[in-house]
A and B are shown apart, each in its own frame.
Chain A
């Protein structure tokens, strides 16, 4: 457990010394969501209807933007190999890296989403559901994305390939995440969607670090 926390701390420290990288993904999120009204038109009714989908797709893309960073630097300077050789299980260290990635790339999105939701004229309770859905959904995105990041480690055209691998797997999170907000707006209650999102998160917390570790080991061979 110490190794886990040490990895989280190390990754956070490294990222905070290069703040611009983290902030890029966050600003990307802000800019992309602000582009949609400009493209579609400022009609409040329409914007309110499409807001959950826009915010979720933008969150998906922003998470994707941060994924190559998850292992690339540690892979190129050999840290990842040292981690694989270290006495603490690699799976634990990988899980720590994923958690750090979520804290850096996922959590800011969750915190920003209510502010951006205001642009789309969402009311307070809807913003709450949106934040809750993103809180459950963004760790899922980091976990699934980590598998793709480990698989594409050190490959030609890794970034584009990563998008091709990971985006189809993101679809359930998108459907239930945006669906939760839409169901709430429609007055159906978001409970079912949020439960399914939480169930997928539980499944991913168990399996994804394991699959990621296997992929990291393959990349290191």
Chain B
């Protein structure tokens, strides 16, 4: 038992995590490509045309996984941030920093594809629906996190300050979500109700799940690439980095 705990902590040091991340990256890229090809094939060639929405509905194969990932990445980011704050492990803070841009990307992608979907279906690029609004606020939270980290020169302080912000954000996300939801029901009648969507065909669901897995693997791969870059940048004064780069 004691042995295994020590093993895990070993990867909390940048020096031992760097090669491990390097070994893992190709696998996650391969998995992302495999899931992506299968998911795209299923969603564009196999899944039937929707009776009400026509071909336009196929945007959801990108939109829904991107929305899921944008929320999930924030939780993972806050987890790493909290871990870094509690255990003072350096790689944790770097992981949080590496995940933030991908999270923001997913949130932006989700908003963008949502707008592309909304125009033909609802007739508007943007409506103040509860989900859209909370996704937008989530995007702002990502931007705030990245801006705070970018403004602090000392990486250790940046990690810790970012960690507090991420944790405060995590506490606030449910509050924001429900407040936006209730605000929405107060202000406008349910002109658009996304909860009563017609039940999906199985192939559509599978396509969406495969695409979600693809996004997930892509996120891990790209976060690991980014964390390796961050490790090299922050540890540039050490001997092992000089050897690793050679």
Q: Do A and B come from one complex?
A: yes
In the complex, what residues of B have CB within 8 A of residue A118's CB?
A: none
B225 at the interface (CB under 8 A from A): no
Whether the pair A215, B161 counts as a contact (CB closer than 8 A) is yes
Residue count of chain A within 8 Å CB distance of chain B: 29
The chain A residue sitting closest to B164, CB to CB, is: A215
Neighbour of A171 across the interface among B151, B171, B180, B182, CB < 8 A: B180
Name the residue on B nearest A168 (C-beta).
Answer: B140
Complex contact B168–A175 (CB within 8 A): no
A128 within 8 A of B: no
Enumerate chain B residues within 8 angstroms of A5, measured Cβ to Cβ: none
B124 on the interface (CB 8 Å rule)? no
A152-B148, A179-B183, A219-B157 known; A165 vs B165 contact (CB < 8 Å): yes
Minimum distance in angstroms from B97 CB to a CB of chain A: 15
Chain A stretch 122-169: residues in CB contact (< 8 A) with chain B: 147, 151-152, 155-158, 161, 164-165, 167-169
Q: A152-B148, A200-B175, A211-B164 in contact; A168/B157 too (CB < 8 A)?
A: no
Q: Which residue of A lies closest to B145 (CB)?
A: A165
B93 to chain A, nearest CB (A): 12
Contact A165 B148, beta carbon cutoff 8 Å: yes
Question: What's the least CB distance linking B142 to chain A, in Å?
Answer: 10
Question: Does A218 lie at the interface of the complex (its beta carbon under 8 Å from any beta carbon of B)?
Answer: yes
In the complex, A124→B41 CA distance in Å? 64
Across the interface, do B176 and A168 meet the contact criterion of CB distance under 8 Å?
Answer: yes
Residues of B contacting A: mostly: helix
Contact A172 B186 (CB under 8 A): no
List residues 135-177 of chain B with CB under 8 A from any CB of chain A. Answer: 137, 140-141, 143-144, 147-148, 151-152, 156-157, 160-161, 164-165, 167-169, 171-172, 175-176
Q: Are A155 and B151 in contact (CB under 8 A)?
A: yes
Contacts of B179 in A (CB 8 A): 171-172, 175-176, 196
Could you tell me the distance in whole angstroms from the C-beta of A54 to the nearest C-beta in chain B? 16
- Does A183 sit at the interface, judged by CB under 8 A? yes
**Contact yes or no, B183 A161, CB < 8 A:** no
Docked-complex contact B164 and A151, CB < 8 angstroms: yes
- The number of chain B residues with a CB under 8 A from chain A is 27
Q: Which residues of A contact B152 (CB under 8 A)?
A: 155
The complex places the Cα of A219 from the Cα of B164 at a distance, in Å, of 12
Distance (whole angstroms) from the CB of A214 to the closest CB of chain B = 6
Q: Which of B141, B143, B168, B186 has the most CB of A within 10 A?
A: B168
A171 and B148 in contact (CB under 8 A), knowing A182-B186, A218-B157, A218-B164?
A: no
- For A153, the closest partner residue in chain B by CB is B161
B residues less than 8 Å from A168 (CB atoms): 137, 140-141, 144, 176
Inter-chain contacts of B171 with A (CB < 8 A): 207
Q: How far is the CB of B116 from chain A (nearest CB, A)?
A: 24
List 7 extra interface pairs beyond A161-B151, A164-B143, A168-B140, CB under 8 A: A151-B148, A155-B151, A165-B165, A168-B144, A169-B176, A179-B182, A215-B161
Q: Can you pick out 21 interface pairs between chain A and chain B where the beta carbons lie within 8 Å of each other?
A: A147-B164, A151-B148, A151-B161, A161-B148, A164-B143, A165-B147, A165-B165, A167-B140, A168-B176, A171-B179, A172-B175, A172-B176, A172-B179, A175-B179, A179-B182, A196-B179, A200-B175, A207-B171, A211-B168, A218-B157, A219-B157
A-to-B contact residues, CB < 8 Å:
147, 151-152, 155-158, 161, 164-165, 167-169, 171-172, 175-176, 179, 182-183, 196, 200, 207, 211, 214-215, 218-219, 221
